[in-house]
């Protein structure tokens, strides 16, 4: 029974600590890098409205289910799923769901660290005034010089991985909790400062109009699917991070309230990032739908032309590093927890081993931007292949499996006991969403992405 299970890794000292940690896991490059550019590519306000609806109908129900599993099992995702499958009288092969989450987080971090390394490099370059007065061609050259230089990429990748594993090695309360207690409030303060900066660009109203005024004529079925997919991925679902963080959650903390707080904070960060970025883009007559290059190639042009651009540009990339850092420590935590549980090694040793292997795989991503740029697997570079497999196959299947296990295989009494929700409209709504709506939506996104069928 749950009351007899206790995590050997310790617990969060409070519900607030868990909320900060899980929010840190959810808030990452996806909020500040990806959300603004996919909003720009898909019409602005109408896309945001669909995205918010998807957070409510897909993201929050599955997040509640994943935290529920973590707290019930009190172990790494692999051991948690094996224990809960046994408790529910199901096949122990459900531990494969845990393995998929651990492997997914591990693979994501291997390339996530490389992209986060770009942000670290941009902190230094922006502070040095490298973008001040730079033309679009000059900014592109600076970016190309970075990604085509394997030595420089390897340095920043190594530095970021060292930052990550230093936190993880210190444990739950001394490492993870202490880090997020500093990083998350600082991240929000930086965002508020940057929003204030954007308010003085002269295009703040235009940015808000683009972000919050729906124009459904610009919304396609493909935009809806992108919003559904991003709502799922932005909350760090299906990769074991939320499950392992849930295993450290005190018994008396409300999973439902925590899930709403986490989803709300994650969404707020994404919207505030848009409020920072779009006014800067519009005030400089740049293109809001500039794609993945919006952060690393379009914004530096704007910062280079604006008063105080070097200072506020540096703050922006520090923000990006902090967001990536809080996510990265959650991505590797499931693997570290499993090594400690199953191989009786110290947390420091488990962190060193996990970090080194992750770093080694990341070298493939480093090289895929330069020396291996012509080497492809199934038509994709090493980086593109890892990104495709994790984001489009492993994570949605993981989220789908979580929903199926909790809603169809786990005893209803067990789920209700962990959620501490009485029978009533609140529990009934969650159960309906997790049983029918969320898995159906994730499955539609998955089938569309892999090309089984296309909408719009």
- Asked whether the predicted pLDDT for residue 229 surpasses 90, the reply is no
Name the pLDDT band for 395 (thresholds 50, 70, 90): confident
421-450: per-residue pLDDT in tens? Answer: 877 898 999 999 999 999 998 888 888 877
Please report the pLDDT score of residue 326 as a whole number.
94
Mean of pLDDT values over 156-184: 94
335-388: per-residue pLDDT in tens? Answer: 999 999 999 899 999 999 999 999 999 999 999 999 999 999 989 999 999 988
Mean of pLDDT values over 154-162: 98
| Domains, the chain | 8-449 (1.10.4160)
Which of 73-87, 230-244, 430-444 shows the lowest mean pLDDT across its residues? 230-244
Rounded to two decimals, the pTM is 0.93
- Asked whether the predicted pLDDT for residue 227 surpasses 90, the reply is no
3-class SS string, the chain? CHHHCCCCCCCCCCHHHHHHHHHHHHCCHHHHHHHHHHHHHCCCHHHHHHHHHHHHHHHHHHHHHHHHHHHHHCCCHHHHHHHHHHHCCCCHHHHHHHHHHHHHHHHHHHHHHHHHHHHHHHHHHHHCCCCCCCCHHHHHHHHHHHHCCHHHHHHHHHHHHHHHHHHHHCCHHHHHHHHHHHHHHHHHHHHHHHHHHHCCCCCHHHHHHHHHCCCHHHCCHHHHHHHHHHHHHCCCCCCCHHHHHHCCCCCCCCHHHHHHHHHHHHHHHHHHHHHHHHHHHHHCCCCCCCCCHHHHHHHHHHHHHCCCHHHHHHHHHHHHHHHHHHHHHHHHHHHHHHHHHHHCCCHHHHHHHHHHHHHHHHHHHHHHCCCCCCCCECCECHHHHHHHHHHHHHHHHHHHHHHHHHHHHCCHHHHHHHHCCCCCHHHHHHHHHHHHHHHHHHHHHHHHHCCCCCCC
If one compares 335 and 40, the residue with the highest pLDDT of the two is: 335
- Asked whether the predicted pLDDT for residue 454 surpasses 70, the reply is no
If one compares 295 and 77, the residue with the highest pLDDT of the two is: 77
Please report the pLDDT score of residue 7 as a whole number.
87
Give 380's strand partners: 377
Please report the pLDDT score of residue 456 as a whole number.
56
With a pLDDT cut of 70, the percent of the chain lying above it is: 98
Mean of pLDDT values over 34-48: 88
- Asked whether the predicted pLDDT for residue 47 surpasses 60, the reply is yes
- Asked whether the predicted pLDDT for residue 46 surpasses 80, the reply is yes
Name the pLDDT band for 31 (thresholds 50, 70, 90): confident
Mean of pLDDT values over 15-23: 93
């Amino acid at each position: 029974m749950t009351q007899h299970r206790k995590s050997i890794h310790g617990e969060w000292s409070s519900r607030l600590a868990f909320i900060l940690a899980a929010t840190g896991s959810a808030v990452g490059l996806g909020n500040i890098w990806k959300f603004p550019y996919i909003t720009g590519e898909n019409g602005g306000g109408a896309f945001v409205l669909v995205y918010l609806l998807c957070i409510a109908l897909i993201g929050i129900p599955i997040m509640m289910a994943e935290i529920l599993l973590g707290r019930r099992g009190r172990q790494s995702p692999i051991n948690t799923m094996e224990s809960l499958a046994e408790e529910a009288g199901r096949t122990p092969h459900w531990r494969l769901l845990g393995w998929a989450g651990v492997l997914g987080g591990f693979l994501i971090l291997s390339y996530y660290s490389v992209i986060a390394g770009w942000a670290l490099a941009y902190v230094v370059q922006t502070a040095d005034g490298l973008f001040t007065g730079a033309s679009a061609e000059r900014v592109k050259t600076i970016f190309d010089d970075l990604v085509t230089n394997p030595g420089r990429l390897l340095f920043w990748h190594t530095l970021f991985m060292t930052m990550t594993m230093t936190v993880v090695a210190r444990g739950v309360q001394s490492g993870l909790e202490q880090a997020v207690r500093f990083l998350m409030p600082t991240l929000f303060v930086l965002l508020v400062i940057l929003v204030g900066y954007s308010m003085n660009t002269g295009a703040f109203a235009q940015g808000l109009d683009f972000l919050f005024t729906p124009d459904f004529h610009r919304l396609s079925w493909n935009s809806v699917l992108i919003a559904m997919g991003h709502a799922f991925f932005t909350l760090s679902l299906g990769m074991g991070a939320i499950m392992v963080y849930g295993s450290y959650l005190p018994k008396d903390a409300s999973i439902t309230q925590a899930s709403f707080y986490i989803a709300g904070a994650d969404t707020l960060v994404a919207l505030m990032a848009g409020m920072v970025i779009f006014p800067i883009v519009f005030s400089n007559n740049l293109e809001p739908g500039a794609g993945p290059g919006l952060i690393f190639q379009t914004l530096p042009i704007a910062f280079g032309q604006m008063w105080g651009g070097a200072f506020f540009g540096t703050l922006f990339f520090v923000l990006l590093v902090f967001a990536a850092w809080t996510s990265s420590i959650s991505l590797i935590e499931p693997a570290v927890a499993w090594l400690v549980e199953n191989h009786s090694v110290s947390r420091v040793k488990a962190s060193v081993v996990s970090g080194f292997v992750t770093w080694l795989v990341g070298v493939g991503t480093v090289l895929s931007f330069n020396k291996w740029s012509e080497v492809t697997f199934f038509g994709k570079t090493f980086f593109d292949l890892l990104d495709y497999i994790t984001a489009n196959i492993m994570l949605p299947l993981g989220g789908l499996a979580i929903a199926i296990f909790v809603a169809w295989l786990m005893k209803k009494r067990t789920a209700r006991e962990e959620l501490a929700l009485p029978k009533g409209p609140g529990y009934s709504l969650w159960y309906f969403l997790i049983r029918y709506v969320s898995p159906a939506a994730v499955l539609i996104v998955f089938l569309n992405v892999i090309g089984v069928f296309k909408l719009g």
